């Protein structure tokens, strides 16, 4: 469910970004002027798309992994390596959540605005929220590996099957 919601938001924002960028190009070539606030909006869309994509990848366990040892490790060792990797990702996401949360609170206290008067903090809220979602996803995956030996929602085992 969460994966579908994130994918839908991601597709919507990407479509909006493409339409706005194309309109901006057309507007500049035809009218020799810029669409008001379009550059700032495109910057915010890039940030939101990046964070939504990272959340979707973490929730669905579809992020990039380096698993060079999976070909030589036993099934049990792959499981524990997966647990360690999920734990490391969890700790990193929690640290980034705290850093981004502190930054977000600072932004709220400064009262900065963007896009013609909208509060900047509203657009930056995606940062701590994304890292919280990613931390939660890695926690769920780690617990799933510990309990069932496979990632939450995955059909296979913790690591890729051996190519023989």
Listing DSSP states for 122-152 in one string gives: HHHTHHHHHHHHHHHHHHHHHHHHHHHSS-T
CA 144, CA 130: separation in Å to the nearest integer? Answer: 21
Q: Are the C-beta atoms of 107 and 121 separated by less than 8 Å?
A: yes
The whole-number average pLDDT for the span 109-128 is: 94
- Which has the minimum average pLDDT: 13-17, 94-98, 116-120, 146-150? 146-150
pLDDT surpassing 70 at residue 147: yes
Yes or no: say if 46 and 10 are a contact pair by the CB < 8 Å rule. Answer: no
The Cα 82–Cα 85 span in angstroms is 5
Is the per-residue pLDDT at 161 higher than 60?
no
What pLDDT sits at residue 108?
93
Please give the average per-residue pLDDT across 93-108, as a whole number: 96
Q: Report how far residue 101's alpha carbon sits from residue 135's, in angstroms, rounded to the nearest whole number.
A: 14
pTM above 0.85, yes or no: no
Of 43-52, 66-75, 82-91, the poorest mean pLDDT is in: 66-75
Lowest mean pLDDT among 74-78, 82-86, 89-93, 120-124: 74-78
Assess whether pLDDT exceeds 70 at residue 65. Answer: yes
Nearest to 160 by CA among 82, 89, 60, 85: 82
Q: What is the pLDDT of residue 78?
A: 85
Cα–Cα distance measured from residue 99 to residue 128, given in angstroms and rounded to the nearest whole number: 8
Measure the CA–CA gap between 49 and 46, rounded to whole angstroms.
5
Cα–Cα distances (Å) from 55 to 27, 36, 113, in that order, read 34, 30, 26
Give the model's pLDDT for residue 90.
97
Q: What is the pLDDT of residue 154?
A: 58
pLDDT at position 162, please? 38
Helices (H), the chain: 2-31, 38-59, 75-110, 120-124, 126-148
- Written as six digits, the tokens of 49 are 């798309």
Res. 152 pLDDT band, cuts 50 70 90: low
| pLDDT number for residue 46 | 96
């Amino acid at each position: 469910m969460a994966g579908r919601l994130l994918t839908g938001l991601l597709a919507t924002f990407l479509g909006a970004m493409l339409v706005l960028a194309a309109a901006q190009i057309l507007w500049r070539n035809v009218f020799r002027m810029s669409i008001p606030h379009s550059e700032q909006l495109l910057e915010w869309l890039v940030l939101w798309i990046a964070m939504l994509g990272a959340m979707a990848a973490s929730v669905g366990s579809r992020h990039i992994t380096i698993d060079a040892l999976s070909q030589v490790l036993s099934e049990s060792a792959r499981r524990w390596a997966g647990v360690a990797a999920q734990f490391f990702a969890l700790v990193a996401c929690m640290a980034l959540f705290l850093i981004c949360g502190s930054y977000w609170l600072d932004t709220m206290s400064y009262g900065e605005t963007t896009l013609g008067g909208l509060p900047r903090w509203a657009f930056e809220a995606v940062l701590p929220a994304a890292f919280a979602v990613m931390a939660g996803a890695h926690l769920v995956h780690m617990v799933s590996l510990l309990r069932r030996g496979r990632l939450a929602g995955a059909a296979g085992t913790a690591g890729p099957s051996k190519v023989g």
